[in-house]
């Protein structure tokens, strides 16, 4: 039987999708990828393969899950399996520098950024930026390693201190801090490479902006997430083109608007999640839409097999 195979390393993030698939009676298989054996001479099972590997896997003691997943995806793609969020999508998920390169290639503005290996050159890179700046991890997620500094000297002092949080891939991004007139960012959700909806995210509580229930942060009674009705923006078209060019089928893309009204994209999440409270208020469901799309892809795979 052909199935929808879900590749991941975090059951908590997969549970809402599994519930949506079960509700529709769609057959699925759980591929938990952390360690194990991949037999390259074997033939993969039939069906559709959806990659939900996360850049923050190392925070759950799954340090090499992305590396294993990259080999699994290459194996699946070599056998012409229908893979959603394939190898190129994974490469973007685990490297913000790769994201910025791809975004710029498609004419999408990003904050000015320097990629620094190690910590010794962080201060010099920071000195090349004017005003406040941010340090963040190249392989991140959940706001990992994000710190705001008012001046380059403070960033250099942090990099030289015992408090320095080393990135898992050794690469730190030194980035212009985009000062928004209001404390929020916008996250656009895409399914099947097409825009689904946008959510406004309150940033007054910090840089932890993961929308899933299991990522909830304490502090404040007001909801952090609000789905924007009838959302339109000039970024949608170029971002959709980028997703198509890189084989990204499901993604959450975040941007911020500066004081002059200019929009900058700063993050692509190919392992996207949704906020159930915001969706309930707006009467939409990202996981339902995702399950429907996966069901369509499974049907298309079945039809292609019968026609072959």
Q: Is 161 inside any structural domain?
A: yes
Residue 208's pLDDT band, with cuts at 50, 70 and 90, is low
State the Cα angle at 187 between 184 and 192, rounded to 5°: 175
Q: Is 39 inside any structural domain?
A: no
Say what the pLDDT of residue 221 is.
53
Q: Is 94 inside any structural domain?
A: no
Q: Is 131 inside any structural domain?
A: yes
Tens digit of pLDDT for each residue in 61-77? 999 999 999 999 999 99
Q: Are residues 211 and 155 in the same domain?
A: no
Residue 206's pLDDT band, with cuts at 50, 70 and 90, is low
50-87 exposure pattern, b = at least 16 Cβ within 10 A, e = fewer = bbbbbbbbbeeebeebbebbbebbebbbeeebbbbbbb
CA distance 30 to 28: 7
Final residue belonging to a domain, choices 152, 176, 200: 176
Q: H-helix or E-strand containing 257?
A: strand 250-257
Per-residue pLDDT, averaged over 233-254, amounts to 98
Query: How many folded domains does the chain comprise?
Result: 2
Q: Is 28 inside any structural domain?
A: no
Say what the pLDDT of residue 143 is.
77
Tens digit of pLDDT for each residue in 8-41? 999 999 999 999 999 999 999 999 999 999 999 9
For residue 53, pLDDT over 60 is answered with yes
Q: Are residues 152 and 204 in the same domain?
A: no
Burial class (CB in 10 A: 0-12, 13-18, 19+), 94: buried
Residue 250's pLDDT band, with cuts at 50, 70 and 90, is very high
Q: Which domain holds residue 155?
A: 113-176
For residue 218, pLDDT over 80 is answered with no
Query: In CATH, what number is assigned to the domain containing residue 195?
Result: 3.30.470.20
Percentage of the chain beyond pLDDT 70 is 94
For residue 88, pLDDT over 80 is answered with yes
């Amino acid at each position: 039987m052909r199935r929808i195979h879900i590749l991941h390393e975090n059951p908590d993030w997969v549970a809402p999708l599994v519930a949506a698939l079960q509700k529709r009676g769609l057959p699925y298989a759980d591929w938990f990828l952390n360690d194990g054996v991949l037999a390259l001479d074997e033939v993969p099972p039939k069906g559709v393969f959806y990659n939900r590997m996360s850049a923050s896997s190392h925070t759950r003691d799954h340090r090499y899950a992305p590396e294993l997943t990259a080999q699994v995806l290459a194996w699946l793609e070599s056998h012409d399996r229908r893979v959603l969020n394939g190898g190129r999508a994974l490469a973007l998920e685990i490297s913000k520098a790769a994201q910025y390169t791809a975004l710029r290639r498609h004419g999408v503005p990003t904050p000015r950024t320097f990629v620094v290996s190690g910590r010794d050159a962080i201060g010099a890179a920071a000195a090349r930026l004017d005003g406040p700046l941010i340090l963040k991890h190249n392989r991140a997620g959940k706001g990992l390693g994000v710190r705001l500094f008012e001046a380059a000297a403070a960033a250099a002092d942090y990099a030289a201190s015992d408090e320095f949080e080393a990135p898992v891939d050794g690469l730190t991004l030194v980035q212009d801090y985009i000062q928004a007139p209001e404390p929020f960012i916008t996250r656009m959700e895409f399914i099947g490479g097409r825009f689904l909806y946008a959510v406004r995210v309150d940033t007054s509580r910090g840089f932890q902006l993961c929308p899933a229930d299991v990522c909830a942060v304490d502090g404040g009674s007001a909801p952090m997430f609000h789905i924007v009705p009838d959302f339109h923006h000039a970024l949608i078209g170029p971002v959709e083109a980028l997703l198509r060019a890189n084989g990204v089928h499901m993604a959450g893309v975040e941007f911020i608007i500066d004081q002059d009204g200019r929009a900058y994209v700063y993050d692509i999440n190919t392992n996207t999640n949704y906020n159930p409270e915001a969706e309930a208020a707006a009467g939409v469901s990202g996981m339902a839409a995702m399950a429907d799309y996966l069901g369509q892809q499974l049907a298309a795979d079945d039809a292609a097999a019968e026609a072959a």
